[in-house]
C-alpha cells in the first residue's frame, strides 16, 4: 500500500498555490492535513499527478469571531476548533466546538483541517453538515494576474458525491459563518466512536422564549449519510409548534419521510430512516437546551 | 523519473540530512532511510495508529504524511522516549507504567500507543481539563488498535502516568516492588 | 519493545535486498489464459518477475488420511485457474516496495471469467460448478463422526425438542503485524535462511522444503519478533514459499511485508460456519439427545499443514462441551467456496460450539420456564462425574464446571450487577446479563491429535536445556511465542527446577537449527507442552548438578538441594557450593569428576501429553439502545480455571485479549463478500475490530484445579477468552431483548439487526392486537 508516483510542490502563499494548480492541470490536488487524501492515495484509489502542499502557508489557521460572524481559516485543525476557549466563538458557535469530538480520533483531529473537510465534501462530514445548517460561505481563491476571490454558499458548494463547486485551480482559504446560532447541535451514529457516521443530523431551533412550552419560530435540520450531499429537511410545517420532545420526534419522523437513503453495508434504507428519525430528534432536543 | 528532494529533519534531537522520493511516507523514511524501526506500520491508511510519532510535538499517523513534509521540522519517535525523565531507570515514566500494567503482549502496537499517549499528556490535553478520568483516557486510546491486550493495561498505564504527572507528590513508584511474578525479568518488561 | 528496539521481520534489511510484490487476481473465479511480465520488467528498479511456470509450478498440499477427504493442491502461484479474488498469479521483485507495487500493476494477465461460488448455498446448489476436480457438492470433507441409534426414539418422545440454526460470520485474525518474511541465501552455510513472522517455524521449513523439492537441512527458519498470530500464522502462506523460491533462484535477499489490504483479502480467514441443530430435553430440562449438522465455509483450498478439516473436526468432536449429552450425532462438512482459505483462527470452532450449546440451554430454559442457570446446573458435568467420558469419546479431566458458574453468580450478586441492570432499564435502555460455561481442550499431544488422522500429526514438543560454564542457562524449544510472555514463564519453570533466579535463564525459540523439531505455538499448548519438555530437561540437568555437588561435597545426591543459586546438603549448613562453581567445574575441570558426570550440563527432553481441559464461566452485562441498535458492553467477568497458574499477570492478559477478540466477533467483525465473490472488507474502515471504546474492564478470577496431565499442573489457556465471549455477549443481548420477544442466533449482531428485529417484533405485536380487536 504505497502511493503511486506524483510530483510534489510546496506553496508558500495562496497566490502561489493557485497559480501552481492552474499550471499543473486537473489531476493536481491540494495537500492539507492529508487525513482523507493520503489514505485514498496509499490504497491507490486516488492518483494525483501532482500535490500542492499548502500546509506551510502562514495565516490560514485561525478562528475569528466578530460582528460579522465567525471566520475559520482553511488550515485550522479540528482540534483547534474542539479546544477553543474563545468566549466569542463559544457564545454563538459553540456547536462547532461540541461537534468536533465526533471527527475521527484525537491524532486525526490534531492534523486534519477544516478546509480539507469542506473540500473533501463527504456527505456525513460534521463540518459539511454544519456549514449548510448555519448558512456558511466557502471562500475560494482562484488564479489570475490579480488573484481573485469568490464566496459560495455552502448549500451550493456541495454538488455530489465528493464533488464541489470549486474549480480545479481554486483553493478554499476560509469558511465564513455569517450568523451565530446559539441553539444548535449535531448528533450522529457510527458503529464505533470515531468511525464515519452512518447517519448524522445537525439541527438548530429558534424558540419564542426560554419558557416551557414556548413555540418554535423556526427549525432547521440537515442530515448526512442519506444521499450524496447534505440533505436539507423541509421543516416549514413546524413553525408554531411547542418546543417539546414530541415536536422533536415529529420533526424526526418528518425528516425520515423526506429522505431516500441508499443501501450500504452499514444499514439498509429502513435502518437509515430509523436513525434519521432518532438523530434528528436528539439533535433538536440538545439544540433546544443550549 | 523519480521526484526527489533533499531535506533536513530533526529526529529525537538529531539533525539528519537526506534525500527522499517525495511519495515516500514519513513512516517509511523514518524506518528505512533513518533506521527508526520502532515506528511500525500496521495498516498504511491511517486507522491503526501503530505508526504514530510526534511531529512538532503533535501526535500524527506517520503513514499519512510524506517524508518531504517533515523538512525543517522535528520528529519524536519511540526511540527517543527513554531519554530524559529518569536516566537511571532508562525507561520514561510512561514506558515504566506500560511495563508495570502489562500493557503489551506482542509489542507491535506499543510504540504507537506510547507516542499517542506522550503527545496527549505532554501538550495535547487541555490545561483546564481537570481531573483525568478513565473515560477520557479510553477515548484517547480508541485512536489506535491493539489485538492482544483488550486495552485494559494500556488504559491503566496511561491513566497512572497522567495522574502521577498531574500530581507528582502522590507519584506511585511501582519499580522495586515487583516480584518474580511480574514482568520485570522478561525481555519485554525490561524493554529491549 | 517499549523502547522501539524490538525487531520484527519488516524491520530487517539486507544489502542488495529485493522487495516482492504479488500480482493478484481481481476476479473470484477465472481461467488464466496468459500472463505477460514484460512491461513490469522494463520498469526502472525492477530486477525480476516470476510466474508459476518460472518457479516450476510449486504447490502445497495438506493431507488428511481419511477416505472422505479430498486434498487440494494450493499452487504457490496460480497457473491456470484462480479460485478467489486476491489469489497470487505472479510476483515482481524490485529495489524498493514502491517500485515493486508500480511494476505489479503493469503485469498483464488475461482472465476468462468463471461462475464464482461466493457462499455455502451457491457451492451446495444442485448443478453447481465444482471448485476442484473430483469434488461432489464442493465438499472437501464430510465427517459422519458420531451417531446413536437411540436418537430417533429420544426425539420422538422428548418433552421438548429445540430446533435452531446458528451462524457465525467470516472473520480475520488481524494481528497488528501482517505476515512478513525475508529469505536470504547463506553461501557459507549453503543454506536458505528464511526469517518469517510465523507461529510454526518447523512446519514452515517442512512446507518450503516439500514445495521447492529441497532438503530440510538446507533451510533454516528463524523467527524474529512476531506482532501477533492468533492462528493466522500457524499455517504456511504461499507468499512465504514464493519468497523462499525467489531468493533461492536469485541467490540474493528477498523480502515481503504483507500490507493490510492483502491481509484482509488474500491471507487466511476463519470462523464462517452454520449449525443446524436439534436438541431433546426432558420436562426437567435435562438434555437427552443432540443432533447437529455443521457446515464450514472454508474457502478455496486446504491450508497447509492442518487441512480445511480442522474446523468441522473440532466442531463435531467437541460440541457437547461441558454438558452431559447421553446421545449424540454429528455430521460436519468443509465446503469449498470462492474465498481465501481458512486457518485455525484462535478458538477454532469452539466459539461457535459454545454459542450453540449455551443458546440451546437458554432456549430450553425459556420453553420450560426454568431459570437459565438452573438448567445449566442440571446438565453440567459435576464434580462427582470426573473423569467423565462423553458421547464424543473424549475423557474430561477434573475441572470446576459447576463451581465456576456458582462463583460467577455469587460475584455478580455481591457486586450488584442486577441493580445496575435495573438502573439502566429505568434510564430507557434495554439491558441484559448473559452467561456462558465452557471448557477448552488444550495442550493435546499426538495421542489426541492422531485421532484426526492428519498427514502431519502435531502434538509433542522438544526442549534443550544447557547450562554454560558461568552457570547461566539457555533453553531452546520448538514453541514460538508472539507476546504470550514465554520468556518469563519458561524462565520461571526452568529456574525453579534448577534453584536459579529467572534472570539467569534465557529462552531461544523460533529457530529450526536450535530445536530438533517442534510444533510451534498455537492451540493453547506452549506452556504445558513446551514448558513440560523444558521442565523435564531441567529436571535432568538438576539431577546432574546434584550428583556433581554430591561428589564434591562427599554427600549423597538425594540429600542435595538446589536453591538460591547454591547446592547444599540438607541439614548441613556448611556443606554448600554455588551452582556457578558446579558449572565451572563441569566445563573447565571435567577431570575432577568421575567419568559418568563429565562433559557439560545439558539435557534434551520431549513431552507429548494426552491433553487437559481448562474451563471458565463468563458473564457480561450489556445495554441495548432500541433506537439505534447500539450494544454497549458494561461489565465483564471471567471465572476461569487453567489449573496451576504460573504467572497470573500473563494469564489475565491472555484472557482479556481473548475476550476482546470474542467481543469483536460478537458485535463488530465481519469479512464480507458480494455476490460476485468480491471482497468488500478490504480496509480497516470496513473491517472493524474493537477499540478501547467498545470494551470495558474485564475482571478475571481464578480457580485452580491442577491437571494430572501436565508436568506443572497447569492447563493451556490461550484461547478461552475468545471462545467464551461470543456466547456470553449474545446471551446478554438476548436477555436484554427477551421482553420484546427478540432473540438472535447469529454473530455478529450489528445495530441494524437489532432495530430490524425490534421493528418486526413490534409489528407482530400490533398485528396480534388488531386480530384481538377483530
C-chain CB neighbours of B153 within 8 Å are 653, 656
Give the DSSP letter of residue B121.
I
Instruction: Retrieve residue A270's grid coordinates.
Output: 429502513
Of A152, A177, A202, the position where a domain reaches its end is A177
Distance CA C141, CA C64 (A): 9
Residue A208, domain CATH:
3.30.390.50
What are the tens digits of pLDDT across the range B33-77? 999 999 999 999 999 999 999 999 999 999 999 999 999 999 999
**pLDDT for the residue B141:** 98
Distance CA A262, CA C663 (A): 29
Instruction: Retrieve residue A169's grid coordinates.
Output: 485551480
Count structural domains, chain A.
3
Give the mean model confidence (pLDDT) for residues C13-33. Answer: 97
Give the mean model confidence (pLDDT) for residues C448-455. Answer: 87
Q: How many CB atoms lie within 10 A of CB A245?
A: 12
Residue showing cell 513508584:
B173
Evaluate if residue B175 carries a pLDDT over 70.
no
| Residue in A with minimal Cα distance to B140 | A106
What are the tens digits of pLDDT across the range C229-248? 999 999 999 999 999 999 99
C-chain CB neighbours of A265 within 8 Å are 672, 680, 686
In a domain, A2, yes or no: no
Give the mean model confidence (pLDDT) for residues C49-58. Answer: 96
Interface subset of B 33-52, CB within 8 angstroms of A = 43-46, 49, 52
**pLDDT for the residue B89:** 55
Q: Provide the shortest C-alpha distance from residue B27 to chain A (in Å).
A: 11
Kindly state whether residues A152 and A190 are assigned to the same domain.
no
What are the tens digits of pLDDT across the range A2-37? 999 999 999 999 999 999 999 999 999 999 999 999
- Domain residues for the domain of A239 are 184-288
C-chain CB neighbours of B37 within 8 Å are 4, 7-8, 11
| Residue in A with minimal Cα distance to C751 | A191
Confidence of residue C41 (pLDDT cuts 50, 70, 90): very high
B135: exposed, middle or buried (C-beta count within 10 Å: 0-12, 13-18, 19+)? exposed
What are the tens digits of pLDDT across the range C195-226? 999 999 999 999 999 999 999 999 999 999 99
Kindly state whether residues A208 and A240 are assigned to the same domain.
yes
What are the tens digits of pLDDT across the range C677-701? 999 999 999 999 999 999 999 999 9
Q: What is the b/e burial string over C183-222, where b = at least 16 CB atoms within 10 angstroms of the residue's CB?
A: bbbeeeeebbbbbbbbbbbbbbbbbbbbbbeeeeebbbbb
**Over chain C, what is the mean pLDDT?**
95
**Contact between B22 and A106 using a beta-carbon 8 Å cutoff:** no
Report whether C749 contacts C477 (CB < 8 A).
no
Residue C350, CA distances (Å) to B167, C275, C293, C707 in order: 47, 12, 15, 21
| Range of weakest confidence among A210-224, C58-72, C222-236 | A210-224
Residue C29, CA distances (Å) to A234, C48, C120 in order: 48, 27, 15
Report whether C22 contacts C90 (CB < 8 A).
yes
Q: Provide the shortest C-alpha distance from residue C408 to chain A (in Å).
A: 29
| Residue in B with minimal Cα distance to A34 | B64
What are the tens digits of pLDDT across the range A237-290? 888 899 999 999 999 999 999 999 987 768 899 999 999 999 999 999 999 998
Confidence of residue C527 (pLDDT cuts 50, 70, 90): confident
Q: Provide the shortest C-alpha distance from residue A229 to chain B (in Å).
A: 24
Confidence of residue B170 (pLDDT cuts 50, 70, 90): low
Report the residue of C262, C695, C749, C752 to disrupt the A interface, i.e. the one with the largest count of A CBs within 10 Å.
Answer: C752
Question: Which distant-in-sequence residues (6+ apart) come within 8 Å of C350 by Cβ?
Answer: C314, C318, C438, C440, C719, C723
**pLDDT for the residue A252:** 97
Distance CA A208, CA A76 (A): 35
Evaluate if residue A145 carries a pLDDT over 90.
no
Evaluate if residue C190 carries a pLDDT over 90.
yes
**Contact between C1 and B182 using a beta-carbon 8 Å cutoff:** no
Confidence of residue B183 (pLDDT cuts 50, 70, 90): very low
**Contact between B46 and A53 using a beta-carbon 8 Å cutoff:** no
Report whether C722 contacts C346 (CB < 8 A).
yes
Evaluate if residue B82 carries a pLDDT over 90.
no
**Contact between B147 and C485 using a beta-carbon 8 Å cutoff:** no
Report the residue of B4, B22, B112, B140 to disrupt the A interface, i.e. the one with the largest count of A CBs within 10 Å.
Answer: B22
What are the tens digits of pLDDT across the range C457-503? 998 999 999 999 999 999 999 988 877 788 889 999 999 999 999 99
In a domain, A246, yes or no: yes
A183: nearest Cα among A237, A238, A127, A221: A221
- Using a pLDDT cut of 90, give the percent of chain C over it: 89
Kindly state whether residues A193 and A281 are assigned to the same domain.
yes
- Using a pLDDT cut of 70, give the percent of chain C over it: 100
Residue C511, CA distances (Å) to C203, C223, C227, C475 in order: 12, 6, 17, 12
Selecting from B24, B111, B147 the residue whose C-beta is nearest the C-beta of C228 gives: B147
Claim: this prediction has a pTM higher than 0.90: yes
Residue A44, domain CATH:
3.30.43.10
**pLDDT for the residue B1:** 76
Is the minimum CB–CB distance between C692 and chain B shorter than 8 Å?
A: yes
C298: nearest Cα among C241, C354, C336, C333: C336
Give the mean model confidence (pLDDT) for residues C528-542. Answer: 94
Kindly state whether residues A247 and A265 are assigned to the same domain.
yes
Give the mean model confidence (pLDDT) for residues C335-351. Answer: 97
Interface subset of B 162-191, CB within 8 angstroms of C = 180-183, 185-189, 191
For strands C327-335 and C287-297, give the pairing: parallel
Residue A113, domain CATH:
3.30.465.10
Is the minimum CB–CB distance between C386 and chain B shorter than 8 Å?
A: no
Q: Rounded to an integer, what is the distance from CA C463 to the centroid of its chain? A: 22
Task: Count contacts between B and C (CB, < 8 Å).
Answer: 196
B-chain CB neighbours of C11 within 8 Å are 31, 37
**pLDDT for the residue B192:** 32
**pLDDT for the residue C672:** 96
Distance CA C427, CA C421 (A): 10
Q: How many CB atoms lie within 10 A of CB C501?
A: 13
Q: Provide the shortest C-alpha distance from residue A80 to chain B (in Å).
A: 11
Of A153, A177, A201, the position where a domain reaches its end is A177
| Residue in C with minimal Cα distance to A271 | C752
| Residue in C with minimal Cα distance to B36 | C4
- Domain B93-177 CATH class label: mainly alpha
Full set of structural domains in chain C with CATH:
394-440+613-774 (3.30.365.10), 460-607 (3.30.365.10)
What are the tens digits of pLDDT across the range A149-190? 999 999 999 998 889 999 999 999 999 999 999 899 999 999
Domains of chain B, residue spans: 4-78, 93-177
Comparing B179 with C734, the larger pLDDT belongs to C734
Domain B4-78 has CATH 3.10.20.30: yes
Kindly state whether residues A115 and A153 are assigned to the same domain.
yes
- DSSP bridge partners of B19: B6
Amino acid at each position: 500500500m504505497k502511493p503511486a508516483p506524483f510530483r510534489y510542490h510546496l506553496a508558500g502563499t495562496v497566490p502561489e498555490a493557485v497559480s501552481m494548480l492552474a499550471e499543473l492541470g486537473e489531476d493536481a490536488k491540494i495537500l492539507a492535513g492529508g487525513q482523507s487524501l493520503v489514505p485514498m492515495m496509499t490504497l491507490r484509489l486516488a492518483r494525483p499527478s501532482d500535490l500542492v502542499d499548502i500546509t506551510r502557508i502562514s495565516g490560514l489557521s485561525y478562528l475569528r469571531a466578530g460582528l460579522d460572524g465567525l471566520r475559520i481559516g482553511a488550515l485550522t485543525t479540528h482540534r483547534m476548533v474542539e479546544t477553543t476557549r474563545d468566549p466569542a466563538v463559544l457564545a454563538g458557535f459553540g456547536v462547532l466546538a461540541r461537534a468536533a469530538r465526533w471527527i475521527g480520533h484525537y491524532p486525526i483531529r490534531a492534523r486534519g483541517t477544516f478546509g480539507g473537510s469542506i473540500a473533501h465534501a463527504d456527505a456525513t462530514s460534521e463540518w459539511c453538515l454544519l456549514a449548510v445548517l448555519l448558512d456558511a460561505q466557502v471562500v475560494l481563491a482562484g488564479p489570475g494576474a490579480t488573484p481573485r476571490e469568490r464566496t459560495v454558499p455552502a448549500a451550493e458548494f456541495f454538488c455530489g458525491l465528493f464533488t464541489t463547486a470549486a474549480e480545479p485551480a481554486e483553493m478554499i482559504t476560509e469558511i465564513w459563518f455569517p450568523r451565530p446560532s446559539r441553539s444548535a447541535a449535531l448528533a450522529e451514529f457510527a458503529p464505533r466512536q470515531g468511525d464515519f457516521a452512518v447517519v448524522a443530523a445537525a439541527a438548530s431551533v429558534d424558540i419564542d422564549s426560554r419558557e416551557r412550552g414556548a413555540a418554535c419560530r423556526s427549525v432547521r435540520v440537515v442530515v448526512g449519510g442519506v444521499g450524496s450531499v447534505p440533505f436539507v429537511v423541509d421543516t416549514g410545517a413546524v413553525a408554531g409548534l411547542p418546543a417539546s420532545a414530541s415536536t422533536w420526534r415529529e420533526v424526526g419522523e418528518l425528516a425520515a419521510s423526506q429522505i431516500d437513503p441508499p443501501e450500504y453495508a452499514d444499514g439498509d434504507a429502513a435502518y437509515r430512516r430509523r436513525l434519521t428519525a432518532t438523530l434528528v430528534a436528539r439533535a433538536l432536543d440538545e439544540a433546544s437546551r443550549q | 523519473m523519480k521526484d526527489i528532494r533533499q531535506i533536513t529533519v530533526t529526529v529525537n534531537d538529531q539533525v539528519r540530512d537526506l534525500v527522499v522520493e517525495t511519495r515516500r511516507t514519513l513512516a517509511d523514511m523514518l524506518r528505512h532511510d533513518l533506521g527508526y524501526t520502532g515506528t511500525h506500520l500496521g495498516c498504511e491508511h491511517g486507522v491503526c495508529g501503530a505508526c504514530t510519532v510526534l511531529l512538532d510535538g503533535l501526535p500524527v499517523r506517520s503513514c499519512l504524511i510524506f517524508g518531504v513534509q517533515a523538512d525543517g521540522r522535528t520528529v519524536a519517535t519511540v526511540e527517543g522516549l527513554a531519554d530524559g525523565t529518569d536516566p537511571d531507570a532508562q525507561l520514561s515514566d510512561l514506558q515504566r507504567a506500560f511495563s508495570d500494567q502489562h500493557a503489551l503482549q506482542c509489542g507491535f502496537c506499543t510504540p504507537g500507543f506510547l507516542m499517542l499517549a506522550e503527545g496527549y499528556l505532554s501538550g495535547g490535553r487541555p490545561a483546564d481539563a481537570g481531573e483525568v478520568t478513565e473515560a477520557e483516557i479510553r477515548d484517547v486510546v480508541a485512536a489506535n488498535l491493539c489485538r492482544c491486550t483488550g486495552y485494559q493495561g494500556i488504559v491503566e498505564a496511561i491513566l497512572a502516568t497522567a495522574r502521577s504527572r498531574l500530581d507528582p507528590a502522590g507519584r506511585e513508584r511501582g519499580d522495586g516492588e515487583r516480584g518474580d511474578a511480574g514482568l520485570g525479568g522478561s525481555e519485554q518488561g525490561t524493554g529491549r | 519493545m517499549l523502547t522501539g528496539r524490538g525487531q520484527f521481520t519488516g524491520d530487517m534489511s539486507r544489502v542488495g535486498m529485493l522487495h516482492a510484490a504479488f500480482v493478484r487476481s481481481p476476479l473470484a473465479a477465472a481461467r488464466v489464459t496468459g500472463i505477460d511480465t514484460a512491461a513490469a520488467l522494463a520498469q526502472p528498479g525492477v530486477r525480476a518477475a516470476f510466474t508459476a511456470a518460472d518457479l516450476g509450478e510449486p504447490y502445497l498440499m495438506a493431507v488428511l488420511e481419511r477416505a472422505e477427504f479430498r486434498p487440494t493442491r494450493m499452487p504457490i502461484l496460480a497457473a491456470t485457474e484462480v479460485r478467489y479474488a486476491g489469489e497470487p498469479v505472479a510476483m515482481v521483485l524490485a529495489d524498493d516496495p514502491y517500485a515493486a507495487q508500480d511494476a505489479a500493476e503493469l503485469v498483464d494477465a488475461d482472465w476468462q471469467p468463471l461462475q464464482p461460488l461466493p457462499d455455502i448455498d451457491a457451492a451446495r446448489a444442485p448443478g453447481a460448478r465444482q471448485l476442484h476436480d473430483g469434488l461432489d457438492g464442493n465438499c472437501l470433507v464430510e465427517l459422519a463422526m458420531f451417531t446413536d441409534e437411540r436418537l430417533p426414539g429420544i426425539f420422538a418422545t422428548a418433552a421438548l425438542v429445540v430446533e435452531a440454526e446458528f451462524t457465525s460470520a467470516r472473520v480475520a485474525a488481524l494481528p497488528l503485524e501482517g505476515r512478513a518474511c525475508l529469505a536470504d541465501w547463506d553461501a557459507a552455510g549453503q543454506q536458505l535462511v528464511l526469517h518469517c513472522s510465523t507461529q510454526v517455524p518447523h512446519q514452515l521449513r517442512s512446507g518450503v522444503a516439500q514445495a521447492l523439492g529441497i532438503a530440510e537441512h538446507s533451510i533454516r527458519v528463524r523467527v524474529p519478533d512476531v506482532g501477533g498470530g492468533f492462528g493466522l500464522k500457524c499455517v504456511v502462506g504461499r507468499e512465504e514459499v514464493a519468497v523462499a523460491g525467489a531468493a533461492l533462484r536469485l541467490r540474493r535477499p528477498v523480502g515481503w511485508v504483507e500490507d493490510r489490504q492483502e491481509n484482509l483479502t488474500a491471507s487466511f480467514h476463519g470462523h464462517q460456519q452454520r449449525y443446524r441443530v436439534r436438541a431433546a430435553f426432558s420436562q426437567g430440562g435435562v438434555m437427552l439427545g443432540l443432533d447437529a449438522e455443521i457446515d464450514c465455509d472454508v474457502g478455496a483450498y486446504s491450508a497447509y499443514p492442518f487441512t480445511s478439516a480442522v474446523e468441522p473436526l473440532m466442531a463435531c468432536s467437541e460440541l457437547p462441551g461441558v454438558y452431559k449429552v447421553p446421545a449424540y450425532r454429528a455430521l460436519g462438512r468443509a465446503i469449498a467456496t470462492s474465498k481465501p482459505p481458512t486457518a485455525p483462527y484462535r478458538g477454532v470452532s469452539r466459539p461457535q460450539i459454545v454459542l450453540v450449546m449455551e443458546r440451546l440451554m437458554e432456549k430450553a430454559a425459556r420453553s420450560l420456564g426454568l431459570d437459565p442457570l438452573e438448567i445449566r446446573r442440571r446438565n453440567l458435568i459435576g464434580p462427582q462425574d470426573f473423569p467423565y467420558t462423553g458421547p464424543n469419546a473424549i475423557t474430561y479431566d477434573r475441572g470446576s464446571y459447576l463451581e465456576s458458574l456458582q462463583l460467577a453468580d455469587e460475584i455478580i450478586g455481591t457486586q450488584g450487577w442486577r441493580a445496575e441492570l435495573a438502573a439502566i432499564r429505568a434510564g430507557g435502555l434495554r439491558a441484559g446479563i448473559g452467561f456462558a460455561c465452557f471448557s477448552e481442550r488444550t495442550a493435546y499431544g499426538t495421542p489426541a491429535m492422531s485421532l484426526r488422522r492428519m498427514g502431519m500429526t502435531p502434538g509433542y514438543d522438544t526442549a534443550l536445556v544447557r547450562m554454560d560454564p558461568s552457570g547461566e542457562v539457555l533453553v531452546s524449544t520448538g514453541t514460538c511465542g508472539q507476546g504470550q510472555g514465554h520468556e518469563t514463564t519458561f524462565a520461571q519453570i526452568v529456574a525453579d527446577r534448577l534453584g536459579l533466579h529467572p534472570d539467569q535463564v534465557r529462552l531461544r525459540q523460533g529457530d529450526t537449527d536450535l530445536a530438533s523439531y517442534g510444533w510451534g505455538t498455537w492451540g493453547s499448548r506452549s506452556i504445558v507442552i513446551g514448558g513440560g519438555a523444558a521442565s523435564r530437561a531441567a529436571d535432568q540437568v538438576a539431577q546432574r548438578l546434584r550428583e556433581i555437588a554430591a561428589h564434591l561435597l562427599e554427600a549423597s545426591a538425594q540429600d542435595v538441594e538446589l536453591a538460591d543459586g547454591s547446592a547444599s546438603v540438607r541439614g548441613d549448613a556448611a556443606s554448600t557450593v554455588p551452582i556457578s562453581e558446579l558449572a565451572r567445574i563441569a566445563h573447565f575441570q571435567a577431570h575432577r569428576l568421575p567419568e559418568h558426570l563429565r562433559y557439560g550440563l545439558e539435557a534434551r527432553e520431549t513431552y507429548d501429553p494426552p491433553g487437559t481441559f481448562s474451563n471458565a464461566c463468563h458473564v457480561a452485562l450489556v445495554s441495548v439502545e432500541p433506537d439505534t441498535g447500539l450494544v454497549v458492553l458494561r461489565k465483564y467477568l471471567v471465572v476461569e480455571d487453567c489449573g496451576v497458574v504460573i504467572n497470573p499477570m500473563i494469564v489475565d492478559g491472555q484472557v482479556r485479549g481473548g475476550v476482546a477478540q470474542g467481543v469483536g466477533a460478537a458485535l463488530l467483525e465481519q469479512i464480507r463478500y458480494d455476490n460476485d465473490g468480491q471482497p468488500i472488507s478490504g480496509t480497516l474502515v470496513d473491517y472493524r475490530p474493537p477499540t478501547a471504546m467498545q470494551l470495558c474492564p474485564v475482571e478475571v478470577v481464578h480457580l485452580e484445579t491442577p491437571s494430572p496431565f501436565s508436568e506443572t499442573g497447569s492447563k493451556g489457556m490461550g484461547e478461552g477468552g475468545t471462545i467464551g465471549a461470543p456466547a456470553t455477549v449474545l446471551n446478554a443481548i438476548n436477555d436484554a431483548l427477551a421482553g420484546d420477544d427478540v432473540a438472535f442466533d447469529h454473530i455478529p449482531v450489528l445495530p441494524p439487526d437489532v432495530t430490524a428485529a425490534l421493528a418486526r417484533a413490534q409489528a407482530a405485536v400490533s398485528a396480534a392486537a388488531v386480530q384481538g380487536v377483530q
